[in-house]
Chains A and B, each alone.
Chain A
Amino acid sequence: MAKVSAATITARAKARLGDRVFEGVAVAAGVIILAVLAAVAIFLIAKAMPALVASPAELERANTDFWPFVPPLIFGTVWAALLALLFALPLAVGIALFISHYAPRKLAQGLGYVIDLLAAIPSVVFGLWGILVLAPAVRPLYEWLVNNVGWFPLFAGPVSGTGRTILTVAVVLAVMILPIITALCREVFLQTPRLHEEAALALGATRWEVVKMAVLPFGRAGIISATMLGLGRALGETMAVAMVLSPSILISFALLQSQNPTTIAANIALKFPEAAGLGINSLIATGLVLFVITFVVNALARLVINRRKEFSGAN
């Protein structure tokens, strides 16, 4: 909007019914989103409060525990999500670049369609695929890694006999978050101003140099937004992790062993059916912890995006 000096009188256009209705609907939508978020936060805090303020004796009597479990669960959640992102992000950016800048039109459309199809597969199916196909298939690879590269702390033995480790879960999660990141990055890369790209080409840049100079810097904020969405899904993924992982409560960086740190969501899914009383409150309290983690991660992402706010559609 153009800034007017204090001396000029700004005349407002007469608002028609259409304007008022649309403004009302837009405001209502914004308010509803905030209200839903507030309702979820209130529910979590209210249900978690008994476990947060319970004394150790009360927790003992209810055969449950909370504070000692929190650090390993947070570690497991963040570790699995980070590993998944490590696999998914380069692949997703690569696919998006291929679709937007390298592939012939027909192939690009087909590939985009197939990637979107991946997003429609339910997580239970991914869990079944992980436990029935992926785990037995990668088990020989893990044995080879432990026998030959076992000196590296991440690949320390003893190797799991079934392949259901946190590395397998990370691969499954990566496949699940790939379509989200790819779809968003593809849109962002397609939005790169033609002028920037043609200017780079005019200066004699190769295709890769155009991407490096014009596409990626422009799309950085978009890539980060896409990553945060994918990370959000990876942090909260329940069924696939519960079915594929062999869970324990511990903090360990080893990727190939039988004892793996479990995630908050998978832990809730496993324990909830048989939980009662204070046990339920403890589980919901861990859910509150996950809520806070996601909040913090998104806030950090917003900070990074804000430094490039002229390029981000969200600002």
Chain B
Amino acid sequence: MKITRTGLAIAAVAAASALVLSGCAANEGGGTTPSNLSGSIAGVGSSAQGSAQEAWVAAFQTSNPKATVTYDPQGSGAGVTAFMEGGALFAGSDSPLKDEELAGTFAACVPDTAPFEVANYISAIAVVYNVDGVDSLNLDSATIANIFTGKITMWNDPAIAALNAGVTLPATAITAVHRADESGTTKNFTDYLSKVAPDAWAFKADKVWPAEITTGEAAEKTSGMADTVTGGVGTIGYIDLSKAGKLGVANVKVGTEFVAPSAAGAAAAFAASSPLEGRDPATSMAVSVDRKSTDPTTYPLILVSYIIGCQQYADAANVELIKGYLGYIVSAAGQDVAAGVGAAPLTAANITAAEAIISAIK
């Protein structure tokens, strides 16, 4: 084909302008009060917080165009390891630091100072199912435990029918799906079952699904769990409520009523929890969730995710930016953003406690 000189010139101008104009990023020039926080910080950790962190980073960078924040959702264990070795300035973790970890060395902190733990993400864990013709399902903790350990194998089992009067359950086999990778969601789910149904569930709370259970399928990560339950027949699984999508969600028995998972129920369950023993409330919001609650306004099957950082950073370079970002996450505005992705926002009292810890960072 004939390429004319003018054609070439036009093409060159178009390519050059495309390159130049793409340098104008979407997050520049917007926002309400542009602040002059600058620098670049990185955090690593829990994938349960992943979508909330994405939303927070986007909102924060819009109003602070000179700042760069990155969060890598590699998993709670990877996050804590990275933080202790100094590779990340803060970590996201689905469980508070273990006592042995607290006694270790934290490379990013001033020696002999302890890290802080702030609860910043609370989400309900939904028991999701995909069964033809069943729109609403009531389950109690013992039945859930028996389904996931393989003792109940068919959907029309008398134990399930007894809880669901008036619902026709089909004669399909149950496929219980669990997480193949180490997961904070699994840890909270197994913690709930071990505390509320200890006769049916004899295993302790762990990030790894018990290897003694030889039935059921395994799916990788939250997205794999959602895809597997959606694509299968007669499947049941457990997933963060914000990722449940169009799947049916079971009502779990709390006390004497069947409660559907909700952000409000999760927030109430967190508010009713007691602080973890041995932690100083001035620097740690770690709680041990009350799974045995019988109050129907609470939904005790929740996941509480924390931000772990230094009270005193060894390198003062990015402390202002860290305080700015973490302060934003726990503020009312930040928690609204989190509620937008499906989490339960912190109550005003929790926000005050969190902001107090973060403003004390040096």
A residues in contact (CB < 8 Å) with B: 131-132, 135-136, 139, 158-164, 242-243, 246-250, 258-259, 270-271, 273-276
**In the bound complex, how far is the Cα of B208 from the Cα of A248, in angstroms?**
12
- Residue B217 at the chain A interface, CB threshold 8 Å: yes
A-B contact pairs, 15 of them (CB 8 A): A132-B231, A161-B173, A161-B233, A162-B177, A162-B232, A163-B231, A248-B214, A249-B211, A258-B175, A270-B181, A270-B220, A273-B75, A274-B76, A274-B182, A274-B207
Contact B215 A258 (CB under 8 A): yes
**In the bound complex, how far is the Cα of B174 from the Cα of A135, in angstroms?**
17
- Residue B219 at the chain A interface, CB threshold 8 Å: yes
Which of A139, A161, A250, A258 has the most B CB atoms < 10 Å from its CB? A161
B188 to chain A, nearest CB (A): 15
- Residue B332 at the chain A interface, CB threshold 8 Å: no
Residues of B within 8 A of A258 (CB): 175, 215-217
Residues of B within 8 A of A249 (CB): 211
**In the bound complex, how far is the Cα of B250 from the Cα of A263, in angstroms?**
34
**In the bound complex, how far is the Cα of B217 from the Cα of A248, in angstroms?**
9
Flag B183-226 by CB within 8 Å of A: 1 or 0 each.
00000000000000000000000010001001111111000100
Which of A139, A160, A164 has the most B CB atoms < 10 Å from its CB? A164
Residues of A within 8 A of B216 (CB): 258
A126 to chain B, nearest CB (A): 14
- Residue B92 at the chain A interface, CB threshold 8 Å: no
Contact B180 A270 (CB under 8 A): yes
Residues of A within 8 A of B231 (CB): 131-132, 135-136, 162-163
**In the bound complex, how far is the Cα of B217 from the Cα of A276, in angstroms?**
25
Q: Given contacts A139-B232, A271-B181, A274-B181, are A131 and B227 in contact (CB under 8 A)? A: yes
Bin chain B's interface residue count.
Answer: 20 to 34
B residues in contact (CB < 8 Å) with A: 74-78, 81, 172-175, 177, 180-182, 207, 211, 214-220, 224, 227-228, 231-235
Contact B215 A259 (CB under 8 A): yes
B187 to chain A, nearest CB (A): 11
**Taking CB as reference atom, which chain A residue is nearest B177?**
A162
**Taking CB as reference atom, which chain B residue is nearest A128?**
B227
B228 to chain A, nearest CB (A): 5
Residues of A within 8 A of B172 (CB): 161
The 6 A-B residue pairs with the shortest CB-CB distance, nearest first, are A161-B175, A162-B232, A274-B182, A246-B217, A274-B77, A273-B75
B72 to chain A, nearest CB (A): 10
Residues of A within 8 A of B74 (CB): 273
Residues of A within 8 A of B228 (CB): 131, 162, 164, 246
**In the bound complex, how far is the Cα of B215 from the Cα of A131, in angstroms?**
20
**In the bound complex, how far is the Cα of B215 from the Cα of A275, in angstroms?**
24
**In the bound complex, how far is the Cα of B214 from the Cα of A274, in angstroms?**
22
Which of B207, B219, B231 has the most A CB atoms < 10 Å from its CB? B231
Contact B81 A276 (CB under 8 A): yes
A147 to chain B, nearest CB (A): 12
**In the bound complex, how far is the Cα of B211 from the Cα of A163, in angstroms?**
21
Q: Given contacts A131-B228, A132-B227, A162-B228, are A242 and B220 in contact (CB under 8 A)? A: yes
**In the bound complex, how far is the Cα of B163 from the Cα of A116, in angstroms?**
56
When the two chains form the complex, which single residue of A163, A246, A271 contacts B182, counting CB atoms closer than 8 Å? Answer: A271
Beyond the given pairs A270-B181, A273-B78, A274-B207, 17 more chain A to chain B contacts, judged by CB atoms under 8 angstroms and listed by A's residue number, are A139-B232, A161-B173, A161-B217, A161-B232, A161-B234, A162-B177, A162-B217, A162-B232, A164-B228, A243-B224, A249-B211, A258-B175, A258-B217, A271-B182, A274-B77, A274-B181, A276-B77
**Taking CB as reference atom, which chain A residue is nearest B219?**
A246
Q: Given contacts A131-B224, A132-B227, A164-B228, are A273 and B77 in contact (CB under 8 A)? A: yes
